[in-house]
Structure 1
Amino acid sequence: MAPLISSSDRQQLARLARRALVGVGPALASPHLHKRGLSVNHTQGVTLGVIGAYVVVIALLWNLPYIRWVLWPFKMLVIAFHEFGHAITACCTGGKVESISLDPHEGGVTHMRGGKQAITLPAGYLGSSLIGALLTFCGFNIVASKVASIVLGVCFLLTLWWARKDWLTIATVLLAVGLLVAFWFIQHAEPLRFLVLFIGVMSSLYSVWDICDDLILRKVNSSDAYVFAKRYGGSSQCWGVIWSVISLLFMVAGIIAGLAAFKQTTQQQIDDSNDFIPTVRMLLKM
C-alpha cells in the first residue's frame, strides 16, 4: 500500500514548518526577552542623566578654589555619615561611643571605647559609601526617597545624641533635616528624590575622593587606612584602593538596583507619593 504522504511532500512540509518557526519565533520570544532585559524608560533615563551631571558638577566643585566651598555643607553631611559608620559598628561589636565631632576643616572624629577595630576602622568609608548607594537607589523613586528621608532623620537623631556637645555637628544635622522636611512640600515631594540622589552620589564619591586625597595625593598618617595597615598589615595605599573599589561597586550596584526596581513613570510616582504620607497641601485638599 502506497504511503498517504510521499517523501517529497514531507520534505516540503518540513521546509514550510521551518520557515514558519523562523518568522514567528522572534515575535514570540521578544516579549519575554524584553521583560528579562534591564530596559531604561524615560524617567530612568532622566535620573541617569542627573546622576552623570552630579558626578561632573561635584568633581568640578571639589577642585576649583573658592567655589569648592559651595559643597562644604554637603561635605560636612557625608563626614557625619562617615562618623556614623564608625559609631554604629562600634555599638554592634560591643563598643561604646563617647562622642562624635566634626571639624570646620572638613574632618571628623569618633571617640569610642572597645569594639572590633577590624570592622570599625573600614566602616567609616565603607559605611558612608553604602549609605550613598542606598540613597542613590532610593533616588530613583519618590516614595522610596520619602522612606529614605525618614530613615536619615532617625540616623541624624542618633548622630545628634552622640554629638550633643559639638555645635558644628548639631548645625549640620539640623540643616540637613530642615532641607529634607522642606523638600517634602515642593511639588508633591518630586524634588525630594533629586536631593536624596545628590546626597547619595556625594556620599559615594566622597569616600573615593577622600581616600585619594589622603593616601594617593598626600599621605596622611592619621587616616583610617593608615591605622588599619599598621594594626593588620599591608600598606595604607593598598587598603585605600581596595576600599575605593568597594565604594564604587556599591554605587554601581545601587544604580542597577534602582533601574531594576523602579519602572514607574514620573506621573505614576507622583500618584504613589500622594498616597504615601501626603503633604499638608494634599491633606487640605482632602
Structure 2
Amino acid sequence: MAPIIRHELAYLARRAVVTVGPALIRNHLDTRDLKVRGAQSVTLGVIAAYVVIIAILWNVPYLRYVLWPFKMLVIAFHEFSHAATACCTGGKVESISLDPHEGGVTHMRGGISAITLPAGYLGSSIIGMLLTFCGFDIVASKVASIVLGVCFLFTLWWGKKDWLTILTILLVVGLLVGFWFIAHAEPLRFLVLFIGVMSSLYSVWDICDDLIFRKVNSSDASQFAKRYGGSSQCWGVIWSIISIIFMAAGIIAGIAAFPQSSAQQQKDSQGFAPTM
C-alpha cells in the first residue's frame, strides 16, 4: 500500500503545481481567477445549505443529536490539534478522551502553553479550512480522506483506552470508505466538504457557547487569559474571527484552484485510485 499511496500523493503534487500554482500566482489572484463556474456555484450553494442546516440542528432540542457523530469528530480534531502542537513543542501526550456530553480532554505534560492552548480551536479551524478547500474537487477529497486516515491513526493511538474516541473514528472512517466507492467518489467530496464546514463552524459556535452563553471557567480561552492576560471573551472573539477568516480562505482557494466541471472531475477521479 505504501508505494501506491506515494504514487498517488506524487500525482496530487503534480496536479497542484499545474492547477493551484498558476491560479494563485497569475496576476496575484485577479478577479478572472476567482470567477465562479458551474461546479463551483453548486459547491458554494451546498456550503450555504450546510451552514443553515448545521445552525438549525445545532440549536434545536432533539434534532441536535443528528449532528452528534460529527460533533464528536470535530472534537477529536480539536484534541488532536492540542496533542500535535504539544509534541511539536517538546511536550508528551499521555491520552486523549471524548465523553458523551460532547466534551474532550487531552492529558499532556510539557509543551508551550501559548501554542498548545489556542491550538485546539485554531487547529480544528485550519483542518476545516483544508477540508473545505478539498471539498471543491473529487481527487483532492480522496487525498484528504487518506490524510484524515493517517491523523485518525495517531488519535486512536492516543485515545486507545477510550471507547467513544475509537467508536467515533471508526464510524467516520466507515463513511469515508463507503463514499469512496459510490459514483467514482463524487459523494465523498460532499462528505469532506460537510466535515470541513462543520469543523470551521464548531470553533466559532463552541467558543460562543462556552464564553458567552455559559461562561465556562475551564475553557481554553479562560486558561489562556489566566496565563497571558486579557479576558477569555476577548481571546474567544479573536479566535472566532480567525476561524471565520480561515474558512473564507478555504473557499476562495477552492474557487481559484479547482475550475473543472463536474464531468471533468469525475474523469480525473477515474484516473486517481479508481474504485469502479
Deviations 1:147-172 (A, max 9, x none): 00000000000000000000000000
Instruction: Give the structure 2 partner of residue 80 of structure 1.
Output: 76
Following superposition, the deviation at residue 268 of structure 1 comes to 0.3
Match of 1:67 among 63, 67, 70: 63
Instruction: Give the structure 1 partner of residue 139 of structure 2.
Output: 143
Instruction: Tell me the distance in 1 between the aligned counterparts of 2:261 and 2:198.
Output: 25
Partner of 2:106: helix, strand, or coil? strand
Instruction: Give the structure 2 partner of residue 113 of structure 1.
Output: 109
Please say if residues 114 and 224 of structure 2, whose CA atoms lie closer than 8 Å, have aligned partners that are also in contact.
Answer: yes
Instruction: Give the structure 1 partner of residue 159 of structure 2.
Output: 163
Match of 1:184 among 180, 192, 196: 180
- TM-score with structure 1 setting the length: 0.86
Instruction: Tell me the distance in 2 between the aligned counterparts of 1:253 and 1:135.
Output: 12
Please say if residues 33 and 256 of structure 2, whose CA atoms lie closer than 8 Å, have aligned partners that are also in contact.
Answer: no
Runs of 4+ aligned structure 1 residues displaced above 6 Å come to 32-35
Deviations 1:169-199 (A, max 9, x none): 0000100111000000001100000000000
1:136-285 residue pairs with structure 2 within 5 A? 136-279=132-275, 282=276
| Aligned partner letter, 1:137 | F
Instruction: Give the structure 1 partner of residue 87 of structure 2.
Output: 91
Please say if residues 78 and 124 of structure 2, whose CA atoms lie closer than 8 Å, have aligned partners that are also in contact.
Answer: yes
Aligned residues: percent identity?
Answer: 81
Please say if residues 135 and 190 of structure 2, whose CA atoms lie closer than 8 Å, have aligned partners that are also in contact.
Answer: yes
Instruction: Give the structure 2 partner of residue 36 of structure 1.
Output: 32
Please say if residues 180 and 188 of structure 2, whose CA atoms lie closer than 8 Å, have aligned partners that are also in contact.
Answer: yes
| Aligned partner letter, 2:92 | K
Instruction: Tell me the distance in 1 between the aligned counterparts of 2:85 and 2:30.
Output: 42
Change (3 A) 1:117 1:188: same
Partner of 1:97: helix, strand, or coil? strand
2:47 corresponds to 1:56: no
Instruction: Give the structure 2 partner of residue 103 of structure 1.
Output: 99
Deviations 1:20-44 (A, max 9, x none): xxxxxxxxxxxx9998341111100
Partner of 2:146: helix, strand, or coil? helix
Following superposition, the deviation at residue 78 of structure 1 comes to 0.1
Instruction: Tell me the distance in 1 between the aligned counterparts of 2:163 and 2:153.
Output: 14
Instruction: Tell me the distance in 1 between the aligned counterparts of 2:244 and 2:201.
Output: 8
Instruction: Tell me the distance in 1 between the aligned counterparts of 2:153 and 2:34.
Output: 37
| Aligned partner letter, 2:134 | C
| Aligned partner letter, 1:75 | K
Deviations 1:53-77 (A, max 9, x none): 0000000000001011000000000
| Aligned partner letter, 1:65 | P
Instruction: Tell me the distance in 1 between the aligned counterparts of 2:30 and 2:67.
Output: 41
Instruction: Tell me the distance in 2 between the aligned counterparts of 1:253 and 1:35.
Output: 15
- TM-score with structure 2 setting the length: 0.89
**RMSD of Structure 2 on Structure 1 (CA):** 1.3
Partner of 1:36: helix, strand, or coil? coil
Partner of 1:83: helix, strand, or coil? helix
Deviations 1:3-52 (A, max 9, x none): xxxxxxxxxxxxxxxxxxxxxxxxxxxxx999834111110000000000
